[in-house]
Amino acid sequence: MSHGHSNPIHHPEVQMASRRNYLTGFVIASLLMFAATWLVSAQALAPFGLLLAIMGCAGFAVIAQVYFLLHIDISEHNIWNTVALVMFIPLFVITIGLTWWMFSQLYLRTMPMIPGMPGMH
Amino acid sequence: MHSEETVDPSQVILWSDDYEGHDPISTRTFGFWMYVLSDGMLFATLFAAYGVLSYSHSYYTGPTPAQFVAPWYTFIQTMALFLSVLAYGFAMTALKNGNKAGVINAIIAAMVLGGVFIGLDIHDVLRMIRIGATPETSGGLSAFYALTQVHAAHIFVGLLWMLVMLYQILRQGFSEDVVGRLLSLRMFWQFQAVMWVFIYVFVYLWGYMS
């Protein structure tokens, strides 16, 4: 046991729990998911606008969860978690985005259009 | 200016006597955060696989998400998961005050709500199988099942972990190990909700609208 923290409950990672933050994160994410579900099921926008709108909902919901729930901020105690997340985001985006881009280009150039087969889109 | 003092190797003090050592809880939670992010990379590969297998030709003549996704049903699943994460957050605020009954009650609430999520997921899978949307039907459906069910498996593991934590809290109280594990479980559980936002919006909703 280290000498500094005789009682683990006094550790800053325990003490940073906040009922108000958890509620805020929950309410923001829930409202955004409700909005996205309503937009899609009501077909409220044209397809491209709808896609942008639900992407926005997902983005803000994730930011709210990461900030209010996971305590990712630039406070002294959490800075290294934040740095690790900042390093992780490009890997996440590149893995998905580059794979998707490569395959979409591949399909475009190689998939024959057989009559009767569903199209590319 | 260089001082020409001689240093006696047997007397020299290399580090402070009152060095407190690494903070075990912070070291563990940072390590666990690394794991959580690598888990995110696992999801990234599954998202990429779904991305390249979600063209209309990927479903060939089988059912597409537009035919088998029920947005409001999955929205209820979303709320069950978000409420479970909120309940686990309340376990953390109870832990902050050393309130053992509060921690146990909140973890039980989080388990019940997580169980609702799993129950709705299993019900949804059975419904899809009934209408013929099985994993072997098409590449698109294989990718859909792989992504959504890997997430469900994470939720299942989280529920088992909560059960273990209930037992450990009752047996050991809030020892350093137990508190460290509760903090790791918090990150794990909250991260599953973050991944679910991506799955819900980009797999279920986007699939439904295209």
CB contacts < 8 A (A, B):
175
Q: A 76-95 residues with CB below 8 A of B?
A: 77, 80-81, 84-85, 88, 91-92, 95
Average pLDDT rounded to a whole number, residues A8-32: 94
Look over chain A and give the mean of its residue pLDDT values, rounded to a whole number: 88
- pLDDT for A121 beyond 60: no
Decide if A93 is inside a domain.
no
Decide if A44 is inside a domain.
yes
Angle B86-B90-B92 from CA coordinates, rounded to 5° = 115
Contacts of B77 in chain A (CB under 8 A): none
- pLDDT for A2 beyond 50: no
Model confidence pLDDT, tens digit, residues B83-114: 999 999 999 999 999 999 999 999 999 999 99
Decide if A40 is inside a domain.
yes
Average pLDDT rounded to a whole number, residues B113-119: 98
B179·A8 Cβ contact <8 A: yes
Q: Is-contact A13 A77, C-beta < 8 A?
A: yes
Structural domain span for residue A32 = 17-70
- pLDDT for A3 beyond 50: no
Q: What is the set of domains in chain B, with CATH numbers?
A: 42-209 (1.20.120.80)
Decide if A81 is inside a domain.
no
Per-residue confidence (pLDDT) for residue B92, from 0 to 100: 96
Decide if A79 is inside a domain.
no
Three-class DSSP category at A84: helix
Q: Is-contact B140 B128, C-beta < 8 A?
A: no
Using CA atoms, how far apart are residues B64 and B70, in angstroms rounded to an integer? 12
Cβ–Cβ contact A22 with B under 8 A: yes
Neighbours of B142 (CB within 10 A): 17
Three-class DSSP category at B87: helix
- pLDDT for B128 beyond 90: yes
Decide if A54 is inside a domain.
yes
User: Structurally, how many domains does chain A consist of?
Assistant: 1
DSSP 8-state secondary structure symbol assigned to residue A98: H
Nearest CA in chain A to B26: A13
Q: What is the pTM of this model?
A: 0.89
Report residue A117's pLDDT band, with 50, 70 and 90 as the boundaries. Answer: low
Decide if A27 is inside a domain.
yes
Average pLDDT rounded to a whole number, residues B76-84: 98
Report residue B42's pLDDT band, with 50, 70 and 90 as the boundaries. Answer: very high
